[in-house]
Structures are given as structure tokens and as C-alpha cells.
């Protein structure tokens, strides 16, 4: 599954170990998400930080979604280029 296939309401897991719910239907290098981390907050995340999606999780709570099977994420060339550029910053 590509990150561009994710729709509003889908739950995903990020590289840093935090879960998030997609809050937009846009495509590209960033997505608006509600993130469950140190705090629960909404903001933009890089698409290349999404590791996998929870299958058929739309309409569930985060606890229900975490019990769903994982679907690996594939990245577009643009997202891989963005990952390379941001990794060179640090």
C-alpha cells in the first residue's frame, strides 16, 4: 500500500513507535494526523515516517485498530527523495 492510498480515518504506525490517525485525504510528502505520543496532538508528519497501516481500521478507536493486521507501506520516488533530503539535515 502506498501512503497516497491512505484516507481520512485510517490508522498508521510511525518509525518512532507512535500511532496516528490520518486527518486528510491529501497526497504527497506530508499528512495531517492526530498522533498518540507523549501527548495526543494533531499536526503534520512526513509520509516517509509511516511504516505500516492498520488494515481496515477506519471508524475504530486506536485500541481496536492496534489489534488489526499490519499492511506494509511503500513510498513514491518523491517521498524517498524527501527522506534523503531531511536525513542530510541532521
Q: List the domain boundaries for the chain.
A: 3-89
> How much is the pTM?
0.90
For the stretch 22-43, pLDDT in tens is 999 999 999 999 999 999 999 9
CA distance 62 to 60: 6
Task: Give the DSSP letter string of 3-64.
Answer: GGG--TT-EEEETTS-EEEE-----SSEEEEEEESSSEEEEEEEGGGEEEEETT-TTS-HHH
Gyration radius (Cα) of the chain, Å: 12
C-alpha cell at position 63? 485500541
pLDDT digits (tens, 9 = 90+) for 63-81: 999 999 999 999 999 999 9
Phi, psi of 45 (to 5 degrees): -125, 155
Amino acid at each position: 500500500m502506498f501512503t497516497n492510498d491512505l484516507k481520512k480515518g485510517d490508522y498508521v504506525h510511525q518509525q518512532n513507535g507512535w500511532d496516528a490517525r490520518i486527518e486528510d485525504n491529501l497526497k504527497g510528502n506530508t499528512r495531517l494526523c492526530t498522533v498518540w505520543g507523549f501527548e495526543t496532538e494533531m499536526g503534520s508528519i512526513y509520509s516517509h515516517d509511516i511504516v505500516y497501516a492498520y488494515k481496515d481500521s477506519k471508524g475504530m478507536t486506536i485500541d481496536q485498530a492496534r489489534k488489526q493486521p499490519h499492511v506494509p507501506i511503500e513510498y513514491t520516488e518523491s517521498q524517498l527523495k524527501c527522506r534523503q533530503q531531511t536525513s542530510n539535515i541532521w
